[in-house]
Amino acid sequence: MSKHDTSKKPKDARSLRSAVAKPNAKDASGGSESDMEDLSSVWEKISDKILKHINVSLKKENNTLKLKVDDLEGRSRRNNIKIVGIPEREEGNKLAEFMAALIPKLLGEDNFQSSVIIDRAHRTLRSTPPEGAEPRAIIARVHFFRETEFILRLRRARELEYKGNKVLIFPDYTPEVMRQRRKFNEVLSALRELKVEHSLFFPARLRIKNKGEFKAFTEPGEAMTFVNTDLKNVSEEH
């Protein structure tokens, strides 16, 4: 081979390598873009799953916290009673003492062997109404829960009146507790009609006396089934 031919060989080899390298680089570049697209798609799917999982977990945690808050608030108010119909400014500056003296007068002093202890009391939190307008309700915390229950039982026995004004006494339940208790309204109505001894305990647990024994229910449907199948049948037989 001549010197001339030899001198051309490196140049031809470089050209060949360059020609081969360019398509390879293009393929490599194209492959890299495709891989990135695949990775991006996979990452989006993974991130969506993670976000959905976090969302579900947060909802569960939020519901759990809400139930705990509702329970705590309900328990903190279970000794409370709400009194409606007492004119404004009747209590002076000592509302708790006023309520401790008023409750026996409203419900019958013979029903109370000892003084009613009121831990604290306040009017509902709104502006003082003008003269002649409906007075604000009074919220009073009774010291003993059993006395709260006793007061709520006595309120049904007679019409309550204070200086010519009709007075009503209610339990001071949270909206959630009220919602749970209202579910038992139909059952309670049936039990009263049948004159069956029963009690609805806090927050919403119904206890029914049958054949000398007590049966408890937390589900209104189960309680209604028991009333219809056990109590009504017994009542009809007699």
Q: What is the pLDDT of residue 114?
A: 93
CB 82 within 8 A of CB 170: yes
Which CATH architecture best describes the domain 79-172?
2-Layer Sandwich (3.30)
For residues 2 and 56, which has the higher predicted lDDT (pLDDT)? Answer: 56
State the sign of the Cα–Cα–Cα–Cα dihedral 51, 57, 59, 65: negative
**Across 188-207, average pLDDT:** 92
Rg over alpha carbons for the chain, rounded to the nearest Å, is: 39
For residues 28 and 58, which has the higher predicted lDDT (pLDDT)? Answer: 58
Q: What is the pLDDT of residue 29?
A: 47
Identity of residue 114: S
pLDDT surpasses 50 at 129: yes
CATH superfamily, region 177-237: L1 transposable element, C-terminal domain (3.30.250.20)
Give the separation between CA 26 and CA 17, rounded to whole angstroms. 14
pLDDT surpasses 90 at 235: no
Q: Does the fold of domain 177-237 match that of domain 79-172?
A: no
pLDDT surpasses 50 at 1: no
**Across 1-14, average pLDDT:** 48
pLDDT surpasses 80 at 223: yes
The model's pTM:
0.64
Question: How sure is the predictor about 106, in pLDDT bands with cuts at 50, 70 and 90?
Answer: very high
Percent of the chain scored above 70 by pLDDT? 83
- Give the domain ranges of the chain: 46-76, 79-172, 177-237
Mean pLDDT score of the chain: 85
Alpha helices in 120-166 (DSSP H): 145-154
Q: What is the pLDDT of residue 206?
A: 96
**Across 157-168, average pLDDT:** 94
* CB-CB neighbours of 97 under 10 Å: 13
Question: How sure is the predictor about 20, in pLDDT bands with cuts at 50, 70 and 90?
Answer: very low
Q: What is the pLDDT of residue 202?
A: 86
